[in-house]
Amino acid sequence: MEREKAIAFFDSGIGGLTVLFEALQTLPKENYLYFADSKNAPYGIKSKEEVHNLVKKAVDFILGKDIKALIIACNTATSVTIEDLRKSYSIPIIGMEPAVKPAVEKSEQNHKRVIVTATPLTLKEEKLKNLIERVDNEHIVDLLPLPELVPMAEEGKFNTIRAKEYLKREFAKFELSDYGTVVLGCTHFIFFKKIFQEILPSHIDVIDGNKGTITNLKRILTEKNLLNDSGSSNIEYFISMEKIPDSEASKRMEGLFKILKH
């Protein structure tokens, strides 16, 4: 039956699990499929063509499963491919959007600037440039690429001296007293949120777009009468086309979700 279909999440690696974690809080009765293209990560330093081809191959695979909606839980993949994907497939496809708009609205009130962190490719893409142009009337947004965080996340190097020193070095380029908000524009970065909060002055808010993505997902499923209120939060886990045994997947996700809870 239609209501038994899963909601699929796609990411270049483990970053999209931060979005799935948010979905599990909001939609606990749904069934899920998670696809991590870890064998080809990271995406953020690849060319647009490479990312486009990798995403197309992965999405074709995912849509061969019994799913009712697809979340591109990767800011880089969203920025490069989302428009083409929506033209090519009829299933609801939801992408990520860095939380630039709420950051700008907040910072206009407190007269502070905004730093948007993301992968180099996300920061170069027209999608983000258009978003900033649309909402940043006062020109208060600055960009900070953090390419080293994604490999660290994929290696499980979260709360480490290496990560802390890297972020300290990158943020030393800014006069932080001028800033009020830092946007995490890559889902992998959310695993390092505690370090961001630790090294940044206490007046700076650290925000991301995950909640907005899942709110949008729930709205779309409701409109299409696709919400499931009798499922069991079953999660199938794939790594680059390979199905991971449920016991191994549960152990992997349990450890990563634990980081997000604290």
Residues 6+ apart with CB under 8 A from 118: 44, 75, 76, 98, 128, 143, 144, 145, 146, 185, 186, 189
By DSSP bridging, strand 31-36 and strand 141-145 are unpaired
| Candidate list 17, 19, 51, 74, residue with the active-site label | 74
3-state percent helix, strand, coil for the chain, nearest multiple of 5: 50, 20, 30
Task: Annotate 219-256 with b (16+ C-beta within 10 A) or e (fewer).
Answer: eebeeeebbbeebeeebbbbbbeeebeeeebeebbeeb
DSSP class of residue 245 equals P
Annotation says 132 is catalytic: no
Annotation says 186 is catalytic: yes
Integer angstrom CA distances of residue 84 from 77, 169, 201: 11, 37, 40
| Candidate list 186, 204, 221, 259, residue with the active-site label | 186
Give the whole-angstrom CA distance, residue 154 versus residue 133. Answer: 32
Residues with catalytic annotation? 74, 186
